[in-house]
Chains A and B, each alone.
Chain A
Amino acid sequence: MKQILLIAWREYKQYVFSRGFLIFLVMFPVSLIGLTAAMGLVERTKPARAFVVYDQTGQYTDDIDREIERRRLLSAIAGWDGYVAAAARPDADVKTALAAPFAPAAVNDARARAFMEAGGFDAAQAAAAPYLKPGVPTYVMPRAQFERVPPPAGDIASLAGAEALLRPYLLGERRIARADGSAAPLFAAVLIPSGFGAGEGAEAAQYWSRNLTDVALEDLIGDALDGALQREAVAALGLTREALDDVAAISAPFEAYRPDRAAEEAQLGFADRVETLMPAALTYMLLVIIFGVGNLLLTNTIEERSNKIVEILLSSVTAGQLMAGKLIGIAAVGLTMPAIFLVGGLAASVAASGDQNFAGVAISALFSSPLLLIYLFYFFCAYAIFAMIFLAIGAVSNSLQDAQSYMGPVMILVFAPLPFMIMVFQNPNGFIASLLTWIPIYTPYAVMMRAAADPPMWEIVGATALMLAFAIVLMRFMGRIFRNAILQSSPPKAAEVWRLARRDGV
């Protein structure tokens, strides 16, 4: 065992303590923070995109302006919540200490209205001041993303005339005047014909822009016009705009329950969500690890083979010990990266949400699940099956080029069940789920996805027994290929591999 661990530790050290990996460890959070900061900076410094509205009906411009302002306010309140969480003293629980509209909470129209009625951001800043760290700057509202500017002077009596007039501006040949007198490129134009409305045969409003990828303004205009037409329809029924807003703000109280629990524990909570997502997350992690460590196992075995280290190793340890050491060491390398992502992800979500308890809840949900052990068992079975195949490929290859001819089919095998996994996830006891369960190389994936859905026990036990038998036979075959091929000076041809797999001793 000592020899196996020694080999595993050497393999682990070689990759995890390498300069490249350490640089990655530093670069990952730095680039994440840098990227976030850069995006924030770009967002803050980005000038508002100018657009014009040519409204033949003369009714909808105000609705568009209101929608812009509404969105800006919601975004400003979300920014405020982040500011308060980051700027609060560590001992201050701003969620409970601050009064309702100013305390971090869900951002919606009702809160936005209450926020402004309670005095807006100046009042919020004053209310939060006792709980903030000394010296923190005051909150600055994000800039407006869009600015509606008047259409240029000219013949805009008809839509065709407006279109012709606006085209040079939209193509960037001319710049349009802003309210403050400066000139800016025209981002988009909205043309609302006189026949625009909700009725059948009504004319469509037109959105013109050269930028087809940034759809934020297009969405905003669409929503503003939807809201305007809905309000018109509601007014025809004798209701006011406020009444419609109140109706739209209604959110149904809704709770989900699971029937396999006692009544008091039956309500679905955060822990249940984590447990439900765990198999999908583990399946994804498994694929990432297999893909990542497959290359490590290959290059590593090829190095030992081509550098002629393997014979010295085999005079010190058995081929079985060498294989076991490599599998353990490389598995640990493979798990290190997701572990870093997991810890980093939890830390980042704590930082982003300001909720110190989030990580604790997530971790306890993960580790209190009775299914965790089952998941880990199948996780390592799947890893062992595929890692053995990679080791055997490494043993019959003198270079990565040699290995390529074997890698293609293996990768297809690894990723083949992916398209079906969503079906298994949604219908864990359906035909596809059963079928995949009985294919030994996919048993781990399928059982992990089905475990929480109480699949028939006989099916799981039978398929697992088949998988273990398959794994043992595979390990014997791959082990023989490894032992028999690793000392050959030239790699065996594909046709010879089967002969090597059947031969017991070299």
Chain B
Amino acid sequence: MPETPVLLENVTKRYGAFTAVDDLSFSVAKGEIYGFLGPNGAGKTTTLRMMLDIVQPTAGRLSILGSSSAISVRRRIGYLPEERGLYRKMKAADSIAYFAQLRGLSSRDAKKKANELLECFGLAAFARSKNEALSKGMAQKVQLLATIAHEPELLILDEPFSGLDPINQKTLEDLIAEQRAGGCTIIFSTHVMQHAERLCDRFLIIAKGKKRFEGTLSEARAGFGRRLHVRSAAPAAAFASLAGVVSVHAVRNGGNEAEYDIELADGADPQAFLRQAVAAGIAMTRYEQAGATLHDIFVTVAGDEAAKSAPPPPSSRPRAQAAE
């Protein structure tokens, strides 16, 4: 596998007057888990389809596993589209084997691999069941297994977590980690930030077809204001009066004390904040520095449509607002 399995240079896709993807460039390194983030309609699926040569770009250059078209290397690629299904009348094992055969495995190897995977994922008893008889969760597992049965070098997953229950989400996370451990390069699109935060080495944020950010989570955080979590009996106004403080949100009130989420201005020093607080006689029973969440970064970078499409993380922010 080349060191840069995926490379896009100035790729544009237009449908008539509408530009779905606008001058997009990025690259994915070998063995990397690469997150492809963006609100609905940002151009994620179109980009993934262009990478797979299902859709041709209007302009720009692509290189997939060293080839200018994914068609010639599609046997080395596994693809799970956002909208996916199975033949209702086909048996589970046959479905996995059929797609593996289409991607180059021999009939014998494909059947063997299908049964092994079903066994491994606890579905051995359903190998001869028709897909229409499977539960939704089981069918989703079968779709996933059909994507990896031919042992791809590059795995492209479009919104793989959508529609999965928490148990299957965990199964998928484990599977992605396992595939990466086996040397596979993985690209997945999502608008659920927790998965991206947990899994991705690097990620790209796209909105309205344009690249808004590419890099690691640390790099993203570096460009955002610092955040502090403190617990104190002092009122919120006491913290708000300190230099470098942009906002103070009471997260939780309990007894005499309250928990505050404090946002500092860009470039403000948290140590200077601490010194000011001590000098002002504000007693704190907790002081913790925190970075911006990916959700914050995503909403800020991708704009208004991102705020509508990305589900908020189950962390402090909404509760803080509720408490206010």
Contacts and interface: CB of A to CB of B under 8 A. Distances in A.
Interface of A: 3, 6-7, 10, 14, 18, 303, 307-309, 311-318, 487, 489, 505-506
Nearest to A305: B85
Interface string B27-59: 000000000000000000000010010111000
Contact of B102 (A313, A487, A489, A506): A313
A307 B85 contact: yes
Contact of B85 (A14, A308, A317): A308
A303 B77 CA distance: 25
In order of increasing CB-CB distance, the 7 nearest A-B pairs are: A307-B85, A505-B56, A315-B79, A308-B83, A316-B102, A311-B81, A308-B85
B243 to A, nearest CB: 53
Given A307-B87, A318-B71, A312 B79 contact: yes
Contact of B103 (A307, A316, A318): A316
Contacts of B71: 318
A315 B74 contact: yes
Given A6-B102, A303-B88, A312-B79, 10 more contacts: A7-B102, A10-B98, A308-B85, A311-B84, A312-B143, A315-B54, A315-B79, A316-B74, A316-B102, A487-B49
A317 B54 contact: no
Contacts of A10: 98
B55 A506 contact: yes
B99 interface: yes
B83 A506 contact: no
Interface string B154-165: 000000000000
B236 interface: no
Contact of A506 (B54, B90, B99, B101): B54
7 contacts: A14-B90, A307-B86, A309-B85, A312-B99, A312-B147, A315-B81, A316-B103
A506 B56 contact: yes
Interface size class of B (residues with CB under 8 A): 20 to 34
B207 interface: no
A197 to B, nearest CB: 73
Given A317-B102, A318-B71, A309 B87 contact: yes
Interface of B: 49, 52, 54-56, 70-71, 74, 77, 79-81, 83-90, 98-99, 101-103, 143, 146-147
B55 A14 contact: no
Contacts of A315: 52, 54, 70, 74, 77, 79, 81
A7 B70 CA distance: 20
A311 B55 contact: no
A308 B84 contact: yes
Contacts of B56: 505-506
Nearest to A14: B89
Contacts of B84: 308-309, 311-312
Contacts of A506: 54-56
A487 B54 contact: yes
A6 B101 contact: yes
B86 A6 contact: no
Contacts of A311: 49, 54, 79, 81, 83-84
A18 B88 CA distance: 13
A317 B102 CA distance: 7
Interface of A is mostly: helix
A307 B98 CA distance: 16
Nearest to A487: B54
Nearest to B83: A308
A318 B98 CA distance: 16
B102 to A, nearest CB: 4
A296 to B, nearest CB: 13
B54 A312 contact: no
Contacts of A316: 74, 99, 102-103
Contacts of B101: 6
A154 B103 CA distance: 92
A25 B222 CA distance: 71
Contacts of B70: 315
A400 to B, nearest CB: 16
Contacts of B146: 312
Contacts of B88: 303, 307
A487 B83 CA distance: 10
Contacts of B147: 312
A56 B101 CA distance: 87
A94 B134 CA distance: 62
Contact of B81 (A303, A312, A318, A505): A312
A309 B89 contact: no
Contacts of A318: 71
A485 to B, nearest CB: 13
A459 B278 CA distance: 103
Contacts of B49: 311, 487
Contacts of A309: 84-87
A307 B83 CA distance: 8
Contacts of A489: 83
A205 B147 CA distance: 84
A314 B54 contact: yes
Nearest to A18: B89
B145 to A, nearest CB: 12
Contacts of B81: 308, 311-312, 315
Contacts of A308: 81, 83-85
Contacts of B102: 3, 6-7, 313, 316-317
Contacts of B98: 6, 10
A395 to B, nearest CB: 14
A22 to B, nearest CB: 14
B161 to A, nearest CB: 17
A437 B185 CA distance: 58
A506 B14 CA distance: 9
Contacts of B87: 14, 303, 307, 309
Contacts of B79: 311-312, 315
B76 to A, nearest CB: 12
Contacts of A14: 87, 89-90
A287 B81 CA distance: 38
B238 to A, nearest CB: 54
Contacts of B90: 14
B74 A505 contact: no
Contacts of A487: 49, 54-55
A255 B49 CA distance: 70
A10 to B, nearest CB: 6
Nearest to B50: A506
Contacts of A317: 102
A347 B89 CA distance: 34
Nearest to B75: A316
Nearest to B107: A6
A133 B25 CA distance: 87
A36 B146 CA distance: 51
A316 B99 CA distance: 8
Looking at A7, A307, A316, A489, the one whose CB has the most chain B CB atoms below 10 A away is A316
Nearest to B95: A309
Nearest to B89: A14
A210 to B, nearest CB: 53
A16 to B, nearest CB: 13
A152 to B, nearest CB: 67
Nearest to B143: A312
Contacts of A7: 102
